[in-house]
Amino acid sequence: MIKINLLSEGRTAARAPQPGLGTGKVNNLVFAGCLAVAFVYFFGMWWHVAAVKRDWDEKNRKAQAEVDRLKSIIDEVNGYEKKKANLEAKINLINDLKRNQHGPVRLMDEVSKALPDLVWLNEMNLTGQNIGIRGKAMTPNAVANFIENLKKSPYFAEPRFDSLNQEGPIYNFGLSVTFTYVAPTEPATATSPAPPGSPAAPAAKPAA
């Protein structure tokens, strides 16, 4: 006799098969993970670039501030240099005037010394160092004496005779000469005294 267990078959039939994870869900999870990793990567790169940019901006700001500070110092130094150049130009001009003011005085003095009797001057023109002289004399010998006296002076080069013509009893003459006067140089300034407490300079030994 054959026995059939219907209860077991019913239980087996009643169990529904458990569905597993589908391929589509796995792909979605992998894609979402890749998106998350890419987002984290790009966010990290953006943060790094932003941090580098902030660092460079700060360095540029400090560098620009330093440039502005140095520019103000350079402008101040240039201002001092211009003031110094102006003062030096004024000092040189004053020194030149001091040296040159003795030249005309010496010129008149030397010409007056060389002027003999019977000769008088009408005109003297100074162009650079060249002097043009126009005058009158009672005799030609008086003009010759005047020229000889100019030759003897160390302040004149060889005179150049230009003209001599008689006008009644008076002789008109003209000549030119180079004024060789050299202005004296400025004396050297004395050295400043040594500050108190500093050792004095040793005295020079007498010659044997």
Per-residue pLDDT, 119: 94
Per-residue pLDDT, 22: 59
**Number of domains the chain contains:** 2
Residue 19 lies in a domain: no
Strand residue runs (E) in the chain: 119-127, 130-137, 160-167, 170-178
The mean pLDDT values, 10 residues at a time, for the chain of 208 residues are 55 51 71 84 87 88 88 86 84 65 75 91 88 93 93 89 91 92 54 46 45
Amino acid code (one letter) for 192: S
Q: Are residues 96 and 143 in the same domain?
A: no
The CATH number assigned to the domain holding 147 equals 3.30.70.2830
Per-residue pLDDT, 140: 92
Q: Are residues 77 and 93 in the same domain?
A: yes
127 vs 135: CA distance, rounded Å: 18
Per-residue pLDDT, 84: 86
The residue from 66, 100, 134 where one domain ends is 100
Q: Are residues 118 and 132 in the same domain?
A: yes
For the stretch 84-88, contacts whose Cβ atoms lie closer than 8 Å and that sit 24 or more positions apart, written own/partner, are none
Per-residue pLDDT, 194: 47
Q: Are residues 45 and 109 in the same domain?
A: no
Tokens of 33: 């993970």
